Amino acid sequence: MDTQVNEKHQDKQAYQDKQAYQDKQAYLDNAATTRVFDSVRDIMMQTLEEDYGNPSSMHAKGINAEKYITNAKNIIAKNLKVDAKEIVFTSGGTESNNMALIGTALANNRTGKHIITTNIEHPSVHNPLIFLEDCGYEVTYLPVDGNGKLRMDKLEAAIRPDTILVSIMYVNNEVGALEDIEAISKLIKSKNANTLFHVDAIQAFGKFKIFPKRLGIDLMSVSGHKIHGPKGVGFLYIRDKVKIQPIIYGGEQQKGMRSGTENVPGIAGLGKAVEEIYTNHDVKIANLYALKQYFIDEIRKLEGTTVNAVDLPTLQETAPHIVSVSFDGVRSEVLLHSLEDKGVYISSGSACASNHPGLSGTLRAIGVKKELLDSTIRFSFSVNTTKEEIDFAIEQLSEILPVLRRYTRH
């Protein structure tokens, strides 16, 4: 009898262990989006259920809603060391980039119609620039080196008297390349003091302490859902005196710069996310770099892996949260779904190149071998990522890769 009871207990324990293992997961797609902080959820619920007034209304509920917007703006301005009036709330990073590029191009077209960018920018920069080319503007696309760093000599040679705008991303979303924004700004201004400098900081904000005035940034785009805030909200920093036209017209909200009833829950959540991400920030980022180093060390132990864009003296010369890895003999889409079945969530690296002259996919631009373009995965971490998640992901990879390679045609 005791033996039967013991066997039943062991079977139950084995079942529980199996269930616990099956319930394990590793969310390593934080460059795509992040889970909101609890404090963000709470303040959003407050504005959705109780403080739900329209901030343009003149009664008490409207005035109360307006306070959430003012508070969020002050939090952001304080962290950037800028004036609150220089912050314009948007629907997210894409709108911020569109507003920065199209708005400044339209406002400064009498000065010139030449714009400079790189060939590894996000589509929310490249596609508005293609639109502007169709409108008669000229765009120069600059190359990068094998680590995704802008070629400064190429930038210097490209700046002209009629260059009205340079747009460079702070951190590349695919490989985590980190640009020297201050050095780029100094070069731009030394060549043409009137040229505006726009920075897509969507993958950088929250990972670095960014002070636009110190760095020489004229316009800067940020998205809420990359820093544990809500989706559908972001902001554009516009330095005072920058000439820019609105691209959305309507009821003159935000002093006419971006019309439309403000997304109070989103803005309140964004303000709270900024406040929380920059609390004990140095500790958070040191931990992220430690996790990134650990992940790189572990994944390099697996056969047929190449970590991209990290051939630099220190890991701190890259972003702390993005790792691009190419896997010999395995298609990225197949690997993505195989990992998903095991509870590991990641993104495939983009190997696609635009048909537009001068544009290329990021992986091509940094010199990833042709046979690895469709075999590259992006892993991305957040302040919530644990070593246990990384261990779990590495364990699943070590089991999946040999199986997938066995069935890959050569």
Alpha-carbon gap, residue 93 to 167, rounded angstroms: 14
- What is the Cα–Cα distance from 388 to 396, expressed in whole angstroms? 12
Is residue 352 flagged as an active site residue? yes
Q: Rounded to an integer, what distance in angstroms lies between the CA atom of residue 362 and that of residue 373? A: 10
Q: How far apart are CA 261 and CA 55, in angstroms?
A: 8
Are the beta carbons of 197 and 216 closer than 8 angstroms? yes
CA distance 53 to 179: 42
Find all residues with CB under 8 Å of 350, minimum gap 6, and list them.
174, 361, 362, 363
Phi and psi dihedrals of 347, rounded to 5?
-120, 150
CB-based burial, 79-93: b 16+ in 10 Å, e otherwise: bbebeeebbbbbbbb
Cβ contact 304:405 at 8 Å: yes
Distance linking the first and last C-alpha atoms of the chain: 58
Distance, CA of 284 to CA of 383 (rounded, Å): 6
- In angstroms, the Cα distances linking 77 to 25, 168, 361 are 37, 22, 34
Rg of the chain over all Cα atoms, to the nearest angstrom? 24
**Torsion angle in degrees (nearest 10) through CA of 232, 284, 44, 236:** -40
Cα separation, 310 vs 329, in Å, equals 22
Residue of 48, 286, 352, 403 with catalytic role = 352
d(CA 124, CA 111): 24
Tokens at residue 394, please?
């590495």
Q: Which residues are catalytic?
A: 352
